[in-house]
Structure 1
Amino acid sequence: MYAAPDLQAALASWARHLASERRLSPKTLEAYGRDISQFVGFLGERAGAPAALADVKRLRPADIRAFMAGRRAEGIGSRSLMRALASVRSALRFLEREGLVDASALSAIRGPKLGKSLPKPLSAPNARRLADPDLRAGEERETWVLVRDAAVLALLYGCGLRISEALGLKRSEAPVGGQDVITVTGKGGKTRMVPVIPAVSAAVAEYVALCPYTLPPSEPLFRGQKGGPLNPRIIQLAMERLRGALGLPETATPHALRHSFATHLLARGGDLRAIQDLLGHASLSTTQIYTEVDTSRLLAAYNAAHPRAG
């Protein structure tokens, strides 16, 4: 790090704080370390000498903006730039709490705007085929494993579940034996009722019938090959293999099936608020973004329904 001993020591204390008290992951710590090294290097270049605490004390909003502009000019994206700013904020506020610097320059800095990135929906035929275990019949895997993966993917597309929600189901919650509604626990521990179509129930019932392990009512429905709870990464890997079989792009992920569920419902005239409830979104605006509701479609619905339209 291009820094004077006093600043090096202070930032080392900050790094220890992140590791021991904030308990950040090693990868996050590494990313924060890179960001702050670049910032300190920037200060040193401007000062013409290794950056010291005195340079940090003299920081102005214009200095931080210049650093951000320089990073942007190097071609980093908005998310990386946002993380770089978060790293600088974390370090400066820690040093301020330690009584070493004044971090007031941060108050005038706003982070870069982030674009809304959305997974691309699959076509309805491809989404249905992903939940067909016969598509992977040539793989050297036990039949029950292929049927299990197909059942999970069927829940993602047929019910719009997150992968964590599908794998969080208990055996007693399995939509089999005429049970056509499941209670799903989503983000923040919120529960919602989701209807289950016959094709999904059939896929889950086939898995339950073939699973070689005992499935007590209060334990996880979906099991790994050794009998423990199924790891989400296994479904992600299964999706990767299916992408290859169908010639689908890398955007065809398990989460894209949830997106496809919402998009296909909307395309068939599904009510936006009903889709919001099915997805478990807290606000309608999230659903509008998630399903890529375009202005022309909303305007057409308005013109068709409003008494004074036209």
Structure 2
Amino acid sequence: MSLALSPALRDALARWLDHLAALEGASAQTIRAYRTDVTGFLAFLAEHTSDSIGPARLARVTQSDMRGWMAHERARGVASRSLARSLSAVKGFARWLAERDGFDPTAILAARSPKYQRKLPRPLSEPAAKEVIGLMGSLPREDWVAARDAAVVTLLYGCGLRISEALSLTGADAPLPEVLRIRGKGGKERVVPVLPAARAAVAEYLHLCPFPISDEPDEALFRGTRGGPLNPRLIAGAMAQARGALGLPATATPHALRHSFATHLLAAGGDLRAIQDLLGHASLSTTQAYTAVDASRLMEIYEKAHPRA
């Protein structure tokens, strides 16, 4: 498929992706997804227009081209949510290229994103979250590994960290201070208070860890059994064991603990803007999903208390 692209367009796509990674802090997973999305769109243009695909061809994209591509994707079974992401990637690339090549990208930017039902976060109840953390520290494994896993999930629930953020902590962060500076998605930095329980859990792990951990900023704080950086799949596996033992649903994942942090904070009267800052959400609309979760749970309680006749 790359043979269908002119060298100029291949170079432009590579530079745009480099820009996203270097200046906007996009993750490797996001970069891969955007590359697939944009090259898929360009492949459609090449196949259905019998035209060479270079920057000049993008400048001639019409609304009909955009409707044809989106219809083609739907016919392939692409879900609305995935198509919306692909369209966002195509628009981003077109906007970036238009600024450099001086063409009008209106036909691309005007394409309407398909509507889709946003999935509500699936948090754990407060008792379940506490049970998970307690059980992670007592699963049958080496003491230091159990302490490590308990420390990680305590950070997810107690500080609202993403698993990638917890595992990006280094020896320079130990012992944990009362406030952590976390660099999240898009390279956005935020300040997160660290609860005493989280500091104590990490201190217990450090006390038991058999590997020396210096205060170097490039040395992983959480280690695997061979001493290298901890693989997030190991935390996911331990979480699966815990939810199996507790009879929790498959949605009880490490990321669900971050959802639980936000939902329980909101239920306790937390300010939505403050929760947005703690989670590192770029948009308040993302954080507002937790208000829907809270309302949904209230309705469940109401219906149980007032069953229909």
Decide whether aligned partners of structure 1 residues 28 and 241 sit closer, same or farther in structure 2, where only a CA change above 3 A counts.
farther
- Of 71, 83, 106 in structure 2, the residue corresponding to residue 81 of structure 1 is 83
2:183 counterpart of 1:186: yes
Query: 1:147–1:203: 8 Å Cα contact kept in structure 2?
Result: yes
Using the size of structure 1 for normalisation, the TM-score is 0.68
2:211 to 210, 213, 227: 213
CA distance in 2, matches of 1:52, 1:203: 59
Matched residue SS, 1:157: helix
Distance in 2 (alpha carbons) for counterparts of 1:247 and 1:103: 52
- Over 3 Å counting, the alpha-carbon distance change for 1:88 and 1:11 in structure 2 is farther
Aligned match for 2:13, one of 10, 18, 34: 18
Matched to 1:116, the amino acid is R
Letter in 2 for 1:37: A
**Match in the other structure for 1:196:** 195
* Two-structure CA RMSD over aligned residues (Å): 4.2
* Structure 1 contact 171–216 (Cα < 8 Å) conserved: yes
2:235 alignment partner AA: I
In 2: Cα distance, 1:96 partner to 1:171 partner: 42
Which structure would you say has the larger Rg? 1
1:37 and 2:48 aligned: no
What is the correspondence of 1:1-310 to structure 2 with a 5 Å cutoff? Answer: 9-10=4-5, 14-15=9-10, 17-19=12-14, 22=17, 29-30=35-36, 32-41=38-47, 43=48, 50=50, 60-85=62-87, 90=93, 105-113=107-115, 115-133=117-135, 137-138=139-140, 141-171=141-171, 173-174=173-174, 181-187=178-184, 188-198=187-197, 200-219=198-217, 220-281=220-281, 284-292=284-292
Structure 1 vs Structure 2: percent identity of aligned residues? 49
State how far apart, in whole Å, the 1-side matches of 2:113 and 2:6 are: 22
Q: Aligned partner of 2:129: which letter?
A: A
Shift of 1:18: 3.4
Mean CA deviation greater in 278-287 or 74-83: 278-287
Cα deviation code 1:265-291 (max 9, x no counterpart)? 222333444434433446654432245
User: Take 1:193 and 1:273, find their aligned partners in 2: how far apart are those partners?
Assistant: 14
Alignment gaps of 5+ in structure 2: 19-27, 299-309
Whole-angstrom CA distance in 2 between matches of 1:137 and 1:203? 15
Equivalent residue number for residue 302 of structure 1: none
Q: Between Structure 1 and Structure 2, how many residues are aligned?
A: 280
